[in-house]
Amino acid sequence: MINVFKFGGASVKDADGIKNLAKIIELNKDKQLLIVVSAMGKTTNALEDLTKAYADQRPDMQQIFGNIKTYHQNILLQLFEDENHPVYDEIENSFVEIDWIIEDEPHDEFDFIYDQLVSMGELISTKIVNAYLNHIGIKSKWLDARSFIHTDNSYREGNVDWNKTCKSIEKNIPQVIQDQVAVTQGFIGGTSENFTTTLGREGSDYTAAIFAACLNAEAVTIWKDVPGVLNADPKLFPDTIKYEELSYREALEMTFYGATVIHPKTIKPLQNAKIPLMVKPFLSPLESGTCIQESQVKITQPAIILKNNQVLLTVSTPDLSFITEDHLCDLYGIFAEEHVKINMMQLSAITYSACFDADDRRFPKLMTALEKKFKLKYNSGLELLTVRHFNREIINNLTQNKAILLEQTSRHTAQMVVRNI
């Protein structure tokens, strides 16, 4: 049976991580495996920074690039003693590709350049992982995800052409993984003109789900630095519990509200194909983790989801007239046009409020577009707190020392835009 394993940036952040990945593959050698890998550690952030530095022609551009190179070269040195190993040249060539892009003046659109540069993180990590697996005797083949994940040319949020994608995957992959593992990139796709797209930050999980759905895989396993899906982010809350089992529906809701353990787009294709999604700790690969599947299991422990860096924008009409459906139509149109995704919103007689992630490029454009028709006020540096299966006690606890700017509750979910006081 085919299984898809996804290894995120944290699992391959150093040479030990890659060795550990190899151990997990070893433990699962009875399975036919497709391995989807993210960029190493914080490489995507670094490449994002490089892209911005390039777009703005900042003086620190070469330094950022230098750091990215050194980071990967150090990992190579720890994995491959023989510096004549071909992987050194292969990775060097990828850096030359980056160099070609950034030595020209930036003429193209930012989102396009972003995808051509940022995708290099996954291309490089998978080349290293693939070479290492072969090096230690695990037969492995590198696959270019851009030949399988076909998207339109919405750069930075490529929309997958499922028909074309499934055809390519079904036709080629089952054969490849019959007697070897295949290693491919998460997060990236290709357009019909052979340009690279990305699927949105943290999109590697989604890649794993696409491959699994098209291959009708037995399961997808996402290997994480946490024991499974927890009821809160352990970096923010000390006492977390792990869910043994979650329904697709519950997992979908959690990701919708901002739980970062899994990318929001991951669940639907798996649910449609009835493929279970396992979330397991890469440091204890034999633990049970969390299984997400069709399930009636009742959640008893509230799930707490905190999103930082939120903006709350309040819009009113210039003459303080009521906000009507026509205004809303205009407003949503502008948000969609400027690619700003609304996390929470509320309407009162003369104001409309929306909470969304701060984005230093999209936000000013949104403001400029809205200003033409509306009066605007906003607060930034806020948090969006969501509690699924809430009770009053937990809400009171969580909102101590916080000012609540906007609040909404439904039967299962309480949401608040808050500011620390």
| Contacting residues toward Mg ion, per CB under 5 A | 8-9, 202
Quote the CA–CA distance of 339 and 120 in Å, as a whole number: 24
Question: Where in 37-56 is the site for ligand ASP (CB under 6 A)?
Answer: 38-39, 44
Site string for ligand ASP, 127-156 (x = CB under 6 A): ------------------------------
- Could you please report the per-residue DSSP string of 283-328? TSTTS--EEEES--PPP-SPEEEEEEEEEEEEEE-TT-PPP-HHHH
Among 201, 365, 373, 419, binds ligand ASP (CB under 6 A): 201
Q: Which of ligand ASP, Mg ion, none lies near 187, with the C-beta cut-off 5 to 8 A by kind? A: ligand ASP
Give the nearer residue to ligand ASP in terms of CB position, either 123 or 230: 123
Cβ neighbors of 240 (< 8 A, separation 6 or more) are 230, 231, 232, 233, 234
**8-state DSSP, 159:** P
Residues 174/212, Cβ–Cβ less than 8 Å: no
Which of 17, 41, 121, 289 forms a contact with ligand ASP (CB under 6 A)? 121
Beta bridge partners of 65: none
Report residue 325 as tokens: 């459906």
Question: Which does residue 203 touch among ligand ASP, Mg ion, none (CB within 5 to 8 A, set by kind)?
Answer: ligand ASP
To ligand ASP, the closest distance from the beta carbon of 384 in angstroms equals 20
Which residue, 308, 311, 320, 307, is CA-closest to 366?
A: 311
Question: Smallest distance from the beta carbon of 163 to Mg ion, in angstroms?
Answer: 27
The values of phi and psi at residue 142, to 5°, are -85, 130
Which position's Cβ is nearest Mg ion?
A: 8
Q: In one letter, which amino acid is 88?
A: Y
When binding is defined by CB under 6 A, the residue of 203, 258, 281, 289 that contacts ligand ASP is 203
187 binds ligand ASP (CB under 6 A): yes
User: Least separation, in Å, of the C-beta of 189 and ligand ASP?
Assistant: 12
Q: Does 281 interact with ligand ASP (rule: CB under 6 A)? A: no
Q: Out of ligand ASP, Mg ion, none, which partner does residue 390 contact, by CB within 5 to 8 A per kind?
A: none
Token representation of residue 35: 């391995």
Taking CB under 6 A as the rule, which mask of x and - marks residues 1-20 in contact with ligand ASP?
-------xx-----------
Residue of this chain nearest to ligand ASP (CB atom)? 204
Nearest approach, Cβ of 352 to ligand ASP (angstroms)? 31
Q: What are phi and psi of 202, to 5 degrees?
A: 65, 20
| Residue from the set 17, 158, 186, 302 that interacts with ligand ASP by CB under 6 A | 186
Q: Which pairs with CB-CB distance under 8 Å and at least 24 residues apart come from 319-325?
A: 320/350, 321/350, 322/349, 322/350, 323/347, 323/348, 323/349, 323/350, 323/351, 323/352
The footprint of ligand ASP (CB under 6 A) covers 8-9, 38-39, 44, 121, 186-187, 201-204
